[in-house]
Amino acid sequence: MSSNFSESKARDAALEAHEKLHDGRRQFFKTLGVGATAASGLGSALYSSPALAYGGPYAAAFGLDPARTFMNIGTTGSTPIGVLKSLAANNALIARDPTASFNTGDMRNLIATGFGADPFEIVMSFNTTDGMSKIFSGIVLNPGDEVITTNMEHPGGNSPLAIIADRRGLTIRRVNLPTGDSYSDAEVLARFQALLTNNTKAIMFSSPPFLTGVRLPEKLLCQWAASQGLISIIDGAHGPGMLNLNFHDIGCDFYAGAGHKWQCGPGQTGILYVRNNFSPAAPATYTKVVTINGQSVTLTLPGYTNTNPLPAFYPTVSGGYSQTPGTTLQGGVRNPTHNVAATLMSIGNPSYPALRALQECCQMWDTWGRQNIENYIVALAQYLRSRLAATWGPQSMATMYDANTPNHARVALTSFNPFSAGFDYNAVLTAAQATAQATASGAAVTTLRNTHAVVVRNNTVPHTLRGSPASNAAAGTNSSPLRISTHLFHNTADVDNLVAKLLLTVPSPARGRS
Ligand SMILES: Cc1ncc(COP(=O)(O)O)c(C=O)c1O
């Protein structure tokens, strides 16, 4: 692979990423209403090299072990210390008074606007897998219907889809997602369009996919789906807490995300969005009066980019659906005045403290500013990518490194492959090479953790083939890149530390290939 990406260019990009981080950090503290002194107190290690991990602007809010740098938020996050205290206090309260309950309607009313959604549409679910299961078992699909998805879905989305495909006799068609320099948003859309038939009823994709961490063009895909009358379903496991999401603007019918990953809620918490209206059309906004703690509050919400009628959807796990058949959703016909979120959250006795903890995490993010958070962590990920590009080249990542932060790079997961020939993410591998690479990659994860106190993970990825950018590696010849998560508690010193440890651990131009 030819590369005109010089080291000096990479340094410029790294400097630019530094500046963006500075701006992002200033914006954080402006939002908080604190001055430069307080800011430097909180994040004074931003440009120094601390002996211990975590110099990010909100590191002090988290109780991560300072003896190691945790960079696998993509698997699960770390609940802020303040929220943990409240979780413990609320558990004690329930233990003391077992029938005490918290108002989950208030919770939804408090957090929905942070996601650009109506409170009737935000379900505090158990996790992404639970959300995806509720979506696939609730929509109406019949034998012969087809669902277009991708070759990079997680079992948390693939399994619920397979269950319903087996049960209903559906056909699943899979887009091969492009990687490296074959990637473009237009190419992704074209590959979905190529699989459309008269039987297609729905599309499902994860953004970002857990294998590559590349953000897909969610709105573009959902707008296309809506134009074809298709149901759009996003596995957004990594969205809440990482991205400033606006579900009404994205235009999806359903979105299942985790509460316990980037949003840093307790285990077994999730955010599930179920579109429940189609009016007003964006860019208009509308207001809704809700009650929070007994007080009337007026919420201002964005209008809908998806103005299609609501697809039929049945809550499949609920003790809140009317016990008299025919009263809630006769024939699957949905009504925007039906609080589908309340029906979906009514499942026996919940863990009120866990739900409250998720609510508090969401409110922390709202206070800090979800756009500020996204800007900061995306800039930090770009800084990491610029450092990786400087040594291993821009072709070593899931998409070519681009200092201009295109939409697909607005994400805080980085998939990086130093194990293939030419440090090329899309290098062709034989089955034997793929096996050797999986072993080398697994060993690198272990060494980084046990010897260098840095926690990342690896994946098995069906990357695009260099010789044939429209096809992907055959099963058995997948590559095994590393996946790195950068979040609020990290700073550039944490990234520099990771890169230094990678240089001691994985193949590089200086150390040679494995
Ligand atoms: C894309 C994707 N979907 C689903 C899941 C499952 O997430 P959860 O543990 O929230 O069910 C994951 C977990 O990593 C994921 O990356």
pLDDT of 388: 98
pLDDT of 58: 87
**28: nearest Cα among 46, 5, 13, 4:** 46
For residue 240, report the distance from its CA to the centre of ligand 1, in Å.
Answer: 12
**Rg of the chain over CA atoms, in angstroms?**
23
For residue 470, report the distance from its CA to the centre of ligand 1, in Å.
Answer: 27
pLDDT of 22: 53
Pair of tokens at residue 508? 């590089």
The closest residue, in CA terms, to atom 4 on ligand 1 is 156
Contact 126, 269 (CB under 8 A): yes
Tell how strand 171-175 and strand 146-150 pair up.
Answer: parallel
Which of 154, 215, 254, 459 for a ligand 1 pocket mutation test, highest count of atoms within 8 Å of Cβ?
154
- How far is the C-alpha of 148 from the C-alpha of 153, rounded, in Å? 12
For residue 207, report the distance from its CA to the centre of ligand 1, in Å.
Answer: 11
Length of the chain in terms of residues written: 514
Buried b (16+ CB within 10 A) or exposed e, 91-102: eeebeeeeeeeb
Which residues lie below 8 Å from residue 4, measured CB to CB, with a gap of 6+? none
Measured from the CB, is residue 235 less than 6 Å from ligand 1? yes
Measured from the CB, is residue 75 less than 6 Å from ligand 1? yes
Q: In DSSP terms, which residues pair with 274 in a beta bridge?
A: 254
Structural domains of the chain, ranges and CATH numbers in brackets:
7-62+369-505 (3.90.1150), 96-367 (3.40.640.10)
Measured from the CB, is residue 127 less than 6 Å from ligand 1? yes
For residue 301, report the distance from its CA to the centre of ligand 1, in Å.
Answer: 28
pTM of the full structure: 0.91
Q: Tell me the backbone φ, ψ of residue 69, rounded to 5 degrees.
A: -100, 110
For residue 292, report the distance from its CA to the centre of ligand 1, in Å.
Answer: 31
- How far is the C-alpha of 69 from the C-alpha of 489, rounded, in Å? 10
The closest residue, in CA terms, to atom 16 on ligand 1 is 210
Tell how strand 231-236 and strand 200-206 pair up.
Answer: parallel
Measured from the CB, is residue 77 less than 6 Å from ligand 1? no
Tens of pLDDT, residue by residue, the chain (514 residues): 333 444 455 445 545 555 555 555 555 444 433 333 233 322 333 333 334 568 888 899 999 999 999 999 999 999 999 999 999 999 999 999 999 999 999 999 999 999 999 999 999 999 999 999 999 999 999 999 999 999 999 999 999 999 999 999 999 999 999 999 999 999 999 999 999 999 999 999 999 999 999 999 999 999 999 999 999 999 999 999 999 999 999 999 999 999 999 999 999 999 999 999 999 999 999 999 999 999 999 999 999 999 999 999 999 999 989 888 888 887 777 889 999 999 999 999 999 999 999 999 999 999 999 999 999 999 999 999 999 999 999 999 999 999 999 999 999 999 999 999 999 999 999 999 999 999 999 999 999 999 999 999 999 999 998 878 888 999 899 999 999 999 999 999 999 999 999 999 999 998 775 4
The closest residue, in CA terms, to atom 14 on ligand 1 is 75
Which of 133, 210, 269, 271 for a ligand 1 pocket mutation test, highest count of atoms within 8 Å of Cβ?
210
| Separation of first and last alpha carbons in the chain | 19
Give CA torsion, residues 122, 114, 247, 272, to 10 deg.
-30
For residue 32, report the distance from its CA to the centre of ligand 1, in Å.
Answer: 31
For residue 132, report the distance from its CA to the centre of ligand 1, in Å.
Answer: 10
Measured from the CB, is residue 128 less than 6 Å from ligand 1? yes
pLDDT of 8: 52
Give CA separation, 337 vs 9, 288, 408, in Å.
55, 12, 36
- How far is the C-alpha of 477 from the C-alpha of 334, rounded, in Å? 46
The closest residue, in CA terms, to atom 13 on ligand 1 is 75
Which residues lie below 8 Å from residue 451, measured CB to CB, with a gap of 6+? 505
Buried b (16+ CB within 10 A) or exposed e, 344-378: bbbeeeebbbbbbbbbbbbebbeebbbebbbbbbb
Which of 129, 135, 151 for a ligand 1 pocket mutation test, highest count of atoms within 8 Å of Cβ?
129
